[in-house]
Amino acid sequence: MVVSGNRSENVIYLDYQATTPTDPRVVAAMTPYFSERFGNPHSRTHPYGWDAEDAVERARAQVAAIIGAEPREIVFTSGATESNNLAIKGAARFHRARGKDHVVTAATEHKCVLESCRDLEAEGFRVTVLPVRPDGLIDTETVAAALDDATVLVSIMAANNEIGVLQPLAEIGQACRERGVLFHTDAAQAVGKIALDVEAMKIDLLSISSHKLYGPMGMGALYVRRKPRTRLTPLFSGGGQERGLRSGTLPTPLCVGFGMACEIAAADMAAEGQHLRALRQRLYKGLLARIDGVTLNGDPEQRLPGNLNLNFAGIAAEDLMTEAKSVALSTGSACTSASLEPSYVLRALGVPDDLAHGSIRFGLGRFTTEAEIDTVIDRVAAAVEKLRRGGSGVAAE
Amino acid sequence: MSASVYMDYNATAPVRPAAARAVADALVLTGNASSVHGFGRAARRAIEDAREQVAALAATAPENIVFTSGGTEANNLALAGTGRRRILVSAVEHDSVLAAAPEAEILPVDELGLVRLDALADALAVDGAPALVSIMLANNETGVIQPVAEAAAIARRAGALVHCDAVQAAGKIALDFDALGVDLLSLSAHKTGGPQGAGALVVAAGLDLAPSLRGGGQERRRRAGTENLPGIVGFGAAADTARTELDAAARLADWRDEMERRVGRILPAVEAVAAATPRLPNTSCLLTPGLSAETQVMALDLAGIAVSAGSACSSGKVTPSHVLHAMGRGEVAADAIRISLGWCSSRTDIDRFVAAWQDMVTRAGLLPSAA
């Protein structure tokens, strides 16, 4: 499939961790809800409302199923940023009155998790930001050692958005459960890519993004455990939708699309993962064979099937992306991609700044083909060769 | 459902064709608007075009627009973001304003539902603490249009900031952010014929607003989160159409007034609430003494007509309206239904409504000549 969005140029999209194309099956499922089936799902007095409510509840079940949750444990939000803000600030604020004042997270978390914790710090909470190992993984012992009697919540992501590494959720969940501490995981990059189970992993709060798993933008969810019940203070108040945890009219078409995206991902996850791992290996090996001085950031095994994060010695990432502009790549998080600061994630791994400046994220996904990978290898290898030959003046061309 | 008559536009409106096309086009675009590559830049351009369209609807500058997930988020952001602890709200505000500021001082309204400007002036005079005043432009249940510009002038003289919830008014009457003289103004896409899941807060230039959602620094650090590209683009198209079709929206008042006259002729005891004051052209709050709203909406539903018993929010049951209570009409509030028209309404909808309504009151034995 050719991903559109860039006129007719033959540009290959390899930025699936920034956003994924909306799956055509998802678009088809949503379309009727933008036209004849337009009701407000909270309208209780006519069939337009009932039809929309049915659609929203079907979607809720589809989303719940992909993480082993019950439908009523799913709170729909506008996206993972809102889910993370709601989980972290909501849990901390609720338990403040009960003598809890400590939150634990890690240095490589997404910006919205770290910023939410910073908000809490301004409100008087203690925040512990844990270091990670050079492979990007966090030691469960480090988490366990950080917990004290006043710890409300541990927030550790499932999969990193830049380097793709997968944290040991089940171990961390066990450590938290033993201490009676809530465990939140930002699973925006992981849901639909790797198997997750909130029971087996002892997760109390889990954030999901729709547009990272081929669903529409503007949509997400927070899983909120019911047994034992996880209590939150809402971010928005109003009509009392979503059991009072998130007021506002639910966007029916977005719920439907998100639900369909989860159903497709759940069905295809194993095969898709295998396919992506093979493509990623092809890309990695192809680049290693053609280019010297390539190093991988993050653990080679414990990572998302569709993620590679590489350094190219002596080359600045911006120069490489400019030279290989027929491949849509990024330096890391899209949120900070316009910034020239080296990635804080790579810094946390201990990657020196000069190497971090040369790091590129390759995000592969559902519509990436073998032929595209071979083309990418050619284009990136040619770009690196040209840059290494021509020195630093190339970016200005 | 195509055979039925939809008269609940204040709950949500069908998506306008131009907005549906814009959404459909954007759904097949791939690109995170924060990404620097071509896909990201294309998404960014589409969002900035929509920002201009939404800004035009409120007659303000594009840089004043902060996109949100909807009206509720916009209202919550406005009430929490200024840092003002003292908040005054009218008694007839939407639940998302009342619930977002549970400790707010409540400004009374008169029997027509208009906020009492003398009460506002008095409240601001007795206490000099920096305040935020929140007054809606038009009420969602009655359509009553508030004297926002006058209220804002009073508030500003007292050094207060002003927020206006314009969710129901946008696209139904002309909006002018500067003429209203407010600092913050909330908008919702789906009430104007755009998609659900998008909205905006208009923020006056120079006003410092603390974000509620933190993260990637989108929307100039006032609202984090990957932008909802199709939602925003659809909002832009709907705003553009609504702005250019305000004349058509104004003409809905003819049908609405005719409907009210006809039901009044059938049953003189029926009352069109607040008909004596300027209202949104599309909205009618009809009070039928002795016939509960629940009975009415069920009877009308059986006749294929979709109306509501008030606002569409999620209490799950029909509760008497706080709006009518505040107007001193608590004793009859349970008998009121809301009829709201919109861009896809037709003249025959009115005929079908009146026929079904007549049938209903006849069967209920309310007509003097029922024998």
For A28-60, write each residue's pLDDT tens digit: 999 999 988 989 898 888 889 999 999 999 999
Inspect the interface and report whether the beta carbons of B96 and A48 lie closer than 8 Å: no
Does B39 reach chain A within 8 Å, measured CB to CB? yes
* pLDDT score of B320: 73
Tell me the domains of chain A and their CATH numbers: 12-22+269-396 (3.90.1150.10), 24-263 (3.40.640.10)
Average pLDDT over residues B100-115: 96
How far, rounded to the nearest angstrom, does the alpha carbon of residue A116 sit from its chain's CA centroid?
A: 16
Give the model's confidence band at B216: pLDDT under 50 very low, under 70 low, under 90 confident, else very high.
confident
What are the chain A neighbours of B100 within 8 Å (beta carbons)? 236-238
Closest by Cβ to A240, choosing from B35, B313, B318: B313
Query: How much is the mean pLDDT over chain A?
Result: 93
Contact B99 A48 (CB under 8 A): no
CA distance A162 to chain B (A): 13
Examine residue A228 and say whether the peptide bond preceding it is cis (omega within 30 degrees of 0). yes
B305 contacts in chain A (CB < 8 Å): 46
What is the rounded average pLDDT of the residues B299-322?
76
CB-count burial class (<10 Å; 0-12, 13-18, 19+) for A307: buried
Digit-coded pLDDT (tens) for B3-26: 589 999 999 999 999 999 999 999
With 50 as the cut, is the pLDDT of residue B1 above it?
A: no
**What does the block give as tokens for B126?**
């007795």
Per-residue tokens: B88? 């005054």
- On the question of pLDDT at A337 being above 80, the answer is no
- Is the confidence at residue A4, as pLDDT, over 60? no
- Alpha helices (runs of H) in A140-251, residue ranges in sequence order: 140-146, 169-179
User: Domains in chain B, please, with CATH?
Assistant: 5-13+246-363 (3.90.1150.10), 17-244 (3.40.640.10)
| pLDDT at B175 > cutoff 90 | yes
Q: What percent of chain A has pLDDT over 90?
A: 84
In this predicted structure, the answer to whether residue A91 has a pLDDT above a threshold of 70 is: yes
Residue B248 or B129, more confident:
B248
| Residue B314: pLDDT band with limits 50, 70, 90 | very low
Q: Which two tokens stand for residue A345?
A: 């994630």
Q: CB-based contact (8 Å) between A115 and chain B?
A: yes
Give the per-residue pLDDT at B3. 59
Chain B residues touching A251 at Cβ < 8 A: 69-70, 190, 195-198, 231
Cβ partners under 8 Å of residue A108, min gap 6: A132, A136, A157, A160, A162, A163, A344, A345, A348, A349
Return the residue of B nearest to A329 by Cα.
B37
Q: Do B70 and A82 touch (CB under 8 A)?
A: no
Q: Which residue has the tokens 């609720």?
A: A94
User: CB-CB: which of B40, B195, B314 is closest to A253?
Assistant: B195
CA distance B113 to chain A (A): 21
pLDDT band at residue A2 using 50, 70 and 90 as cut-offs: very low
Q: According to the model, what pLDDT value does residue B371 have?
A: 45
> Exposed (0-12), middle (13-18) or buried (19+): which is B11, by Cβ within 10 Å?
buried
Residue A7 has pLDDT above 70, yes or no: no
> Which chain B residue lies closest to A85 (C-alpha atoms)?
B213
Q: At what angle do helices B246-266 and B347-363 cross, to 10 degrees?
A: 30
The answer to whether A216 faces chain B, any CB pair under 8 Å, is yes
A42 to chain B, any CB pair closer than 8 A? The answer is yes
B164, B285, B313, B344: which is the annotated catalytic residue?
Answer: B313
Judged against a pLDDT cut of 90, whether residue A338 lies above it is answered with no
Is B196 in Cβ contact with A85 (below 8 Å)? Answer: no
B28 in contact with chain A, both atoms CB, cutoff 8 A: yes
- Interface contact A217, partner B, CB < 8 A: yes
Nearest CA in chain B to A239: B313
φ/ψ of A181, rounded to 5, equals -105, 140
Q: Which residue has the higher pLDDT, B167 or A394?
A: B167
At a CB cut-off of 8 Å and minimum separation 6, what does B334 contact?
B292, B293, B318, B320
* A15 to B35: CB separation less than 8 angstroms, yes or no: yes
Active-site residue set of A: 335
Name the pLDDT band for A395 (thresholds 50, 70, 90). Answer: very low
Give yes or no for residue B365 having a pLDDT over 60.
yes
Q: Give the pairing of strands A307-312 and A294-296.
A: antiparallel
The ipTM of this complex is 0.92
Closest residue in A to B78 (Cα–Cα):
A236
How far does B371 lie from chain A, in Å, by closest CA? Answer: 30
Q: Which of A107-121, A291-305, A341-355 is predicted least confidently?
A: A341-355
A11, A22, A236, A372: which to substitute to probe chain B, counting the most B Cβ within 10 Å? Answer: A236
Interface probe with A: pick from B214, B302, B315, B343, most Cβ of A within 10 Å = B214
Q: For residues A179 and A230, what is the distance between their CA atoms, to the nearest angstrom?
A: 15
Q: What is the pLDDT of residues B69-82, one digit of tens each?
A: 999 999 999 999 99
* Residue appearing with tokens 């007549």: B358
Average pLDDT estimate for A93-120:
96
CA B262 to chain CA mean position, Å? 27
Mean pLDDT over the full length of chain B = 94
pTM across the whole model: 0.93
**pLDDT interval class at B342 (50, 70, 90):** very high
Q: What are the E-state strand segments in chain B?
A: 5-6, 65-68, 86-90, 105-107, 131-134, 161-165, 184-188, 199-203, 271-272, 283-287, 305-306, 336-340
Q: How far is B197 from chain A (nearest CA, A)?
A: 5
- Is A14's pLDDT higher than 90? yes
